[in-house]
């Protein structure tokens, strides 16, 4: 069974640009969550989606948004990129909202 797939693996963007990251969950998993990982702040929760609805949102500015499609695939978007948005963005999927989460390899975003 294929794991959680995140694309692209690496991105370099310029300040002020926007970026879209993609996540394909494990087949049959209906819940997708996103996390930001930085050396200073560690792993921080961004959002959780289930059945195409955002169920939880972390403490991030409105520049960070996401969505989930009917096939459970998810995207997150960051607009007006700032240097501080440079991070590893991790997507996790789970069968249901209260089951264990499996993580993808992440997308390394560098903002210059």
Partner 1 sequence: AQSVTQPDIHITVSEGASLELRCNYSYGATPYLFWYVQSPGQGLQLLLKYFSGDTLVQGIKGFEAEFKRSQSSFNLRKPSVHWSDAAEYFCAVGAREGGKLIFGQGTELSVKP
Place of tokens 């520049």: 63
Q: Taking Cα atoms as reference points, which of 111, 112, 109 lies closest to residue 10?
A: 109
- Per CB under 8 A, residues contacting partner 1 are 4, 6, 31, 33, 35, 42-43, 45, 48, 50, 55-56, 58, 90, 92, 96-98, 100-106, 108
Of 3 and 61, which has the nearer Cβ to partner 1? 3
Structure tokens at 52: 């195409």
Please check whether residue 96 is in contact with residue 108, taking contact to mean a CB–CB distance below 8 angstroms: no
Of 24 and 33, which has the nearer Cβ to partner 1? 33
Of 16 and 96, which has the nearer Cβ to partner 1? 96
């Amino acid at each position: 069974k294929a794991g959680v797939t995140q694309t692209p693996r690496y991105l370099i963007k310029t300040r002020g640009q926007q970026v879209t990251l993609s996540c394909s969950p494990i087949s049959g998993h209906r819940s997708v969550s996103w996390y930001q990982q930085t050396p200073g702040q560690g792993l921080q929760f961004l959002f959780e989606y289930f059945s195409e609805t955002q169920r939880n949102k972390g403490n991030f500015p409105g520049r960070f948004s996401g969505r989930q499609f009917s096939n459970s695939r998810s995207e997150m978007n960051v607009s007006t990129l700032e240097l501080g948005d440079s991070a590893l963005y991790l997507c996790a999927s789970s069968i249901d909202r209260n089951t264990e989460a499996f993580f993808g390899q992440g997308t390394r975003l560098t903002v210059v």
